[in-house]
Amino acid sequence: MNDKIIKAVFEGKIGELKSILKTHNVDLDAVLNSVGSPLIHVAAAAGHTHMVLELIELGVNVNLENALGVTALDIAYTNAYAYIARALLDNGGIANLANAPAQDIVFNNIAGNHGNGDHYWEDADKMDEAHEYTCGGVASFCGGETF
């Protein structure tokens, strides 16, 4: 059963996922792929914003870590998936860059490192919204509306 769920998530087939869930009571947080990644990671890595949003709607924990201690938000940053990152941030997502050192470089590329070592998204609409994430175990803020 888990293989079918993982396949539906990886392929972005929400209807198929819902069909499986109608007939089976499944703890979606407990479903891991062959390398120990939760479903939210599978959807994020595949670039399926709609599936990430569906999993969030179904109550999946957005801050689960995979076998390497990486969060789905780390994956979104790594792949420069701005809409997925925004969906995760808006739903309490936290990056764990200490466990995913490559993200630091990519995060600089997407968000811009403004010469002081702080990483943040541009606040295009001046709403001053801020989102906390961790970098090396130190709480920082990632503000903004535009990626």
Check which CATH number belongs to the domain holding 42 and give it.
Answer: 1.25.40.20
CA angle 130, 135, 141 (to 5 degrees): 10
Separation between Cα atoms, residue 5 and residue 21, nearest integer Å: 9
Overall average pLDDT of the 15-19 stretch = 97
Range of the structural domain that residue 55 is part of: 2-143
Q: Give me the number of domains the chain comprises.
A: 1
Fill in the amino acid letter for 15: G
Task: State yes or no: pLDDT of 54 exceeds 90.
Answer: yes
Residue 45's CB is within 10 A of a number of other CB atoms, namely 19
For residue 103, the one-letter residue type is Q
Give the pLDDT mean for 9-30: 97
CA–CA dist 71, 41 (Å, integer) = 7
d(CA 23, CA 117): 50
Residue 78's pLDDT band (cuts 50, 70, 90): confident
Residues 66-87 have a mean pLDDT of 90
Mean pLDDT of 22-49: 96
Looking at 12-117, which runs of residues are DSSP E strands? none
DSSP labels, 9-34: HHHT-HHHHHHHHHH----GGG-B-T
